[in-house]
Amino acid sequence: MSRETISQSISIVHPISLSHGKNAEVWDTTGKRYIDFVGGIGVLNLGHCHPRVVEAIREQATKLTHYAFNAAPHAPYIELMDRLTAFIPVDYPVSGMLTNSGAEAAENALKIVRGATGRTAVIAFDGAFHGRTLATLNLNGKVAPYKQKVGVLPGPVFHLPFPSRDNGVTCGEALKAMDRLFSVEIDVDDVACFIIEPVQGEGGFLTLDMEFAQALRRFCDEKNILLIADEIQSGFGRTGQRFAFSRLGIEPDLILLGKSIAGGVPLGAVVGRKTLLDNLPKGGLGGTYSGNPIACAAALATLDEMTDEHLKSWGTQQEEAIVSRYESWHSKKLSPYLGRLTGVGAMRGIELANADGSPASQQLTQLLALAREAGLLLMPSGKSRHIIRLLAPLTIEAAVLEEGLDILEGCLVKLA
């Protein structure tokens, strides 16, 4: 099967062609089976082809495949927004809009905060990833490959260190950098918002420092700056709760959603304080495909499965299995390249590092190939592409999870 018609600017992690999947397993076009620890890069918290999601898609496809909501509203969009806003664990009135993706949610959030504050400057964080659209590129805390060869990006955007126990950056260091930023680079009164991931995804599954999160929330309140939480990858149960910001003891003003919102069907959302979402003129928000009926039906089925009981049990099962296995590997010095375990809940990363602590990027590339050959798909992350992202479906069977970890263990031993 030729790939000459596909842009060569698209990077491929695994040079295979998939045919079908079921829960945490996929098969390629040759019939080879793989255990999937990639999960569509965090899209498939409910696994491949979840029966409830598939049935919802099938049923909706016989009723209405599309209508542009801004032309004439349709029932799946209205029902989903009622359910979704009730699902957001905050104490203020919530409203929102549906988008086609997480990046589109971020773009709309930028419009919303500009309209609400009359300001344009945005503060993001080192290691961040918020999308590949032109405006979101500038939010990303990494140049290569996202910002290369595209010229001047929309702004102004400034970056701060991301404080986390997983990267050694302390709350104090981040606050000191913030103080310098507002002393040297930009007037705080020109800042519209901070945008931050409660757990960085692309950055290597780094958990935001709780003390910093709460200090940032207080600072934003004092300076009339809005706080955006990007929960596109960390949301919908990945950390064992509905959303990761709840672990930090804060409430963001806007929340970006995507990935696992609709069981694999393209959908995103920006939700938050109703006063913010209602501030732009009529027609300022919307989109032809945003909130497609089939995507909405898939999202409604997803929410049916996302009970707090399910999320807690799924997250606990996966977290305990990963942490237990990692601790065993670490205690018996399984590999000289085995570094830190990052993240929280079932959103975990395993760092590969050299003896001097530097990133072992070459070994991670080797590990991806070894694991794939043995029947396990893994995803890299981290600034130096040296952290394994573990994103198995939350619904993975215990035996399949253990089988995948067995394969990973065998491959770590072989690293050279």
CA distances from 162 to 125, 166, 330 (A): 6, 10, 26
Asked whether residue 319 falls in the same domain as residue 202, the answer is no
Asked whether residue 297 falls in the same domain as residue 396, the answer is no
Say if 2 falls within a structural domain: no
Q: Which of 49-53, 148-152, 161-165 has the lowest mean pLDDT?
A: 148-152
Is residue 251 predicted with pLDDT exceeding 80? Answer: yes
Asked whether residue 408 falls in the same domain as residue 291, the answer is no
In whole angstroms, give the CA distance from residue 39 to residue 43. Answer: 6
Copy the structure tokens of residue 98.
């549906």
pLDDT category, 266, cuts 50, 70, 90? Answer: very high
Asked whether residue 232 falls in the same domain as residue 369, the answer is no
In whole angstroms, give the CA distance from residue 290 to residue 308. Answer: 27
Say if 204 falls within a structural domain: yes
Q: Which of 20-34, 147-161, 277-291 has the lowest mean pLDDT?
A: 147-161
Is residue 150 predicted with pLDDT exceeding 80? Answer: no
Asked whether residue 296 falls in the same domain as residue 363, the answer is no
Q: Of 305, 330, 358, at which residue does a domain stop?
A: 305
pLDDT category, 144, cuts 50, 70, 90? Answer: confident
Which residues are 341's β-sheet partners?
350
Instruction: Check which CATH number belongs to the domain holding 248 and give it.
Output: 3.40.640.10
Whole-number pLDDT of residue 4: 85
Give the chain's length.
416
Asked whether residue 118 falls in the same domain as residue 252, the answer is yes
Asked whether residue 323 falls in the same domain as residue 288, the answer is no
In whole angstroms, give the CA distance from residue 163 to residue 165. Answer: 7
pLDDT category, 2, cuts 50, 70, 90? Answer: low
Asked whether residue 316 falls in the same domain as residue 220, the answer is no
Whole-number pLDDT of residue 34: 98
Q: What domain count does the chain have?
A: 2
Asked whether residue 261 falls in the same domain as residue 350, the answer is no
Cβ neighbourhood burial of 259 (10 Å; 0-12, 13-18, 19+): buried
- Taking residues 7-16, what's their average pLDDT? 92
Whole-number pLDDT of residue 219: 98
- Taking residues 52-71, what's their average pLDDT? 97
Give the side-chain half-sphere CA count within 13 A for 49.
6
In 10 A of CB 152, how many CB atoms? Answer: 6
Say if 11 falls within a structural domain: no
Say if 349 falls within a structural domain: yes
Is residue 143 predicted with pLDDT exceeding 90? Answer: no
Say if 217 falls within a structural domain: yes
Instruction: Check which CATH number belongs to the domain holding 347 and give it.
Output: 3.90.1150.10
Residue 387: domain span: 308-413
Asked whether residue 186 falls in the same domain as residue 331, the answer is no
Contact residues for 220 (Cβ-Cβ < 8 A; gap 6+): 194, 226, 227, 253
Asked whether residue 320 falls in the same domain as residue 228, the answer is no
Copy the structure tokens of residue 365.
């590339």
CA distances from 65 to 127, 259, 264, 294, 295 (A): 38, 21, 16, 6, 9
Q: Of 305, 328, 360, at which residue does a domain stop?
A: 305
Is residue 142 predicted with pLDDT exceeding 90? Answer: no
Alpha carbon dihedral 173, 178, 179, 184, in 10-degree steps, equals: 120
Say if 12 falls within a structural domain: no
Q: What is the pTM of this model?
A: 0.96
Asked whether residue 81 falls in the same domain as residue 170, the answer is yes
- Taking residues 66-86, what's their average pLDDT? 97
Say if 128 falls within a structural domain: yes
Q: Of 242, 271, 305, at which residue does a domain stop?
A: 305
Please give, one letter per residue, the 3-state secondary structure of the chain: CCCCCCCCCCCCCCCCCEEEEEECEEEECCCCEEEECCHHHHCCCCCECCHHHHHHHHHHHCCCCCCCCCCCCCHHHHHHHHHHHHHCCCCCCEEEEEECCHHHHHHHHHHHHHHHHCCCEEEEECCCCCCCCHHHHHHCCCCCCCCCCCCCCCCCEEEECCCECCCCECHHHHHHHHHHHHHHHCCHHHEEEEEECCEECCCCCEEECHHHHHHHHHHHHHHCCEEEEECCCCCCCCCCCCCHHHHHCCCCCEEEECHHHHCCCCCEEEEEEHHHHCCCCCCCCCCCCCCCHHHHHHHHHHHHHCCHHHHHHHHHHHHHHHHHHHHHHHHCCCCCCEEEEEEECCEEEEEEECCCCCECHHHHHHHHHHHHHHCEECEEECCCCCEEEECCCCCCCHHHHHHHHHHHHHHHHCCC
Is residue 1 predicted with pLDDT exceeding 70? Answer: no
Q: Output the average pLDDT for the chain.
A: 96
Say if 3 falls within a structural domain: no
Copy the structure tokens of residue 120.
């344009």
